[in-house]
Amino acid sequence: MSDPATAVDPIRTAFISTAYLGAAVSFILGLRGMTRPETARRGMQFALGGMIAALAGTLVNHEVVAYQWVLLGLVLGSVIGWPLGMKVAMTQMPQRIAISHMFGALAASLVGIAEYWKHHLDGVALERPQMAALGFEVLFGALTVSGSFMAFAKLHELLPGRGITFPFQNAVNLTVFAGTIGLLVYLVVDPTATWAFVAMTVLAFISGFSMVLPIGGADMPVVVSLLNSYAGLAASATGFALGNTVLIIAGALDGASGFLLSVLMSKAMNRSFSNVLFGAFGSAPRASAAQLGAGGEMKEISLEDAATALRYAKNVVVVPGYGLAVAQAQKAVGELAELLEGHGNEVRYAIHPVAGRMPGHMNVLLAEANISHEKMVEMEEINDSFESVDVVVVIGANDVVNPAAKRDPGSPIYGMPVLNVDQARRVLVLKRGKGTGFAGIENALFVEERTSLLFGDAKSTLTRLVSELKAM
């Protein structure tokens, strides 16, 4: 008579294979769904279903011998993850994403470290292909952990948002990273060299810190996306090291999508990866005469005059920026737009691809106020029509509307595509104060003849504008 445990194995194997196949298909459909706002919710549901299937397939694996630790991890993860998902404000979403990358990369790193030491303590030498996958996993995982923490600290203003530099920094960073790669190669040749494994892990952590330290300003969204790609690569390498198919697929999807997103954002800023990683953009805030508008001064406008300008403007374009997120003013914007549209005004929203602190930041904020996605117009579609716009309302945006990117070769953002707000008939800027934007660069738009400014908290200013319009 056959052993019952042996008879169950083919069933268990079939279940795991089916669950992993379903998870892989669901992840791909989830990514596809998230390419369009109308299908994004469905895409998230596919991704959630894929993760449930992947977990179910993993939990029935015969290698799981202590479910109490799995349960403990599930409880701890839920306790940490629930507040991160439900309580974090949209203004802090970029920091939350950076921390999520850190946790994912930390998990991959710890798995790789545990797997290496398990073989070391058992006295079983790893084969070279397995050592290559394991080393790659730990290297990119450790680099992503420290890099993501640095990104979080900069975004959360625990560290200065500008780039922090020192002499020969790029040379030092490249030397440290080259040393890390060299140790990985040595480990592949001699997997028993535990000193090399420890040294490689430490240097990888240092590389993450040193890579993000000189990066600041408008480049942070690209860095966060690139770190997402690194976390995916680490997860994929974990799959190769453990022979786990679903990890390989999920990690590859994450790594490829993060890399492509970084490329697209760099292109949107007319920047190269080398310039993003080694240029220390935003590290030295300064302004040329062209940026300052040759000595021009900002002109403040009264609330009554601003309301009058909006009331009689047939064509209004709103340009949202990070200041909108900080003030949580999206619903006030929606109320203002609804009021103007009730008077027959046309209201649209011009979205720059790197506005805010992460891709799609402004789209999500406006969607929270039930603003139709059809009214959100990408930069390429709206830039040629600003000359016919009666009033542009800039809310908390700075660098993405700075005409210095087009006019001043001495500007750090010269060549970066920006919204052609300066071509509109009139510009109203809602701004907290007279300071510079996240990139630390003065904006000539704010001192131009057709520009007027309303200073103060965006939400409060918009609420008072709505009241003024209702009273007209």
* Cα–Cα distance for residue pair 462/472, rounded to 1 Å: 15
Ordered alpha helix ranges (H), 214-244: 220-242
3-class DSSP state for residue 391? strand
DSSP state of 34: T
SS3 76: helix
Helix axes 330-342, 303-311, angle to 10 degrees: 50
Q: How many helices (H) and strands (E) does the chain have?
A: 17, 6
Neighbours of 180 (CB within 10 A): 22
Catalytic option among 399, 408, 422, 457: 399
Place of tokens 């920026």: 321
Please state the three-class secondary structure of 298-364 as a single string: CCECCHHHHHHHHHCCCEEEEEECHHHHHHCCHHHHHHHHHHHHHCCCEEEEEECCCCCCCCCHHHH
Nearest to 450 by CA among 333, 345, 293: 293
- Would you call 399 a catalytic residue per the annotation? yes
Contact (Cβ atoms closer than 8 angstroms) between residue 121 and residue 194: no
The set of catalytic residues is 399
